[in-house]
A = this chain, B = another copy of it.
């Protein structure tokens, strides 16, 4: 790697992505430099592009979940599983850094995803601070970042195919308390929804329903494990409810997961669950407007559990790796990644993602645009 590092920078909301050159950073003791092999364009990146998140210190280098090869390691670098990482290793890292570990959310409530000091690669760090995003030929891993060796059997495309959606899905399944033999319905067939489907299959769900669009994502949903899919554009909520009940002893499913980010989805979801079931709300990462909810019908009389799910923790990152290593050969996580873009084409990648022309755009910062 030369001393000049190229990165794609988002200068501000709704402005074109720019390719900029950065100096190769100093790597102090405890830190490392990762040569990026793959990063991704996720739904949050589209939100960032539209300025829908508050407090973002533009310009930023997007790309929060990324993978690569350790180029430089200064001192001993131990992965979260205790093993030492060395230069040349295929490595990944947990995108959330600097959760304080000392505030009440971290220490008392054990909800570190609500730590206010928390920072996230690709989102909360300005490009002026350095290489804190994966849309770059190299990522700076500051001391304290949770890292891990990418298991030999897991390809870069599999890991990034799952990507941040997979980490979120691990947390969703944990919040859902899903057990083998239970039924589940996933609202939304984007990266989070598809990973949730895959994990529900790994975890032994008895039946997996998915609601989504467009058609190619529903095909993908089936490949990842869904038993039955509903096209959002050609079925009504009433039809979906009737069909789900008909297949679940008239009850609805044990677990519904909201991974759609739509106000209408949140209105529909409670009724798809059985009485006493669980409804995990994980798709409302930005404000999609108000829903109309009747607390009597939808919650109180249904004796329903609704569980918000925000972000992910280091243990979800490690669990994702474990599951990829063990089940990557049976579940095609890699298929979630739709197409790989070079840095110069990330405006197009964002547009394709927003228009749902692809499920997930991968980023190869070393690819030539002329390919």
Contact = CB atoms under 8 A, between A and B. Distances in A.
Contact of A281 (B102, B110, B295): B295
A250 to B, nearest CB: 7
Given A251-B104, A306-B305, A258 B114 contact: no
A301 B308 contact: yes
A370 interface: no
Given A109-B275, A146-B107, A199-B180, A284 B310 contact: no
B258 A295 contact: yes
Given A276-B109, A281-B300, A249 B104 contact: yes
Contacts of A295: 258, 263, 266, 281, 284, 288, 291
A173 interface: yes
B292 A297 contact: no
A188 interface: no
Interface stretch (A38-46, A64-72, A132-140, A318-326): A318-326
A289 B292 CA distance: 10
A284 to B, nearest CB: 4
Contacts of A293: 266, 290-293
B303 A305 contact: no
A80 B102 CA distance: 7
Interface stretch (A11-19, A200-208, A341-349): A200-208
B104 A82 contact: yes
Contact of A308 (B274, B284, B302): B302
Contacts of A178: 180
A114 B296 contact: no
A326 B173 CA distance: 20
B288 A291 contact: no
How many copies of the polypeptide does the oligomer hold? 4
Contact of A282 (B258, B284, B300, B308): B300
Contacts of A207: 326
A239 interface: no
Contacts of A250: 82
Contacts of A282: 300
A8 to B, nearest CB: 28
Interface in A204-238: 204, 206-207
Contacts of A283: 300
Interface string A75-87: 0001011100000
A293 B284 CA distance: 12
A296 B323 contact: no
Interface of A: 78, 80-82, 101-105, 107-111, 113-114, 144, 146, 170, 173-174, 178-181, 199, 202-204, 206-207, 249-251, 258, 263, 266, 274-276, 281-297, 299-310, 313-315, 318-319, 322-323, 325-327
Given A78-B102, A107-B146, A109-B275, 8 more contacts: A266-B295, A284-B296, A284-B299, A291-B293, A291-B294, A299-B308, A300-B308, A303-B309
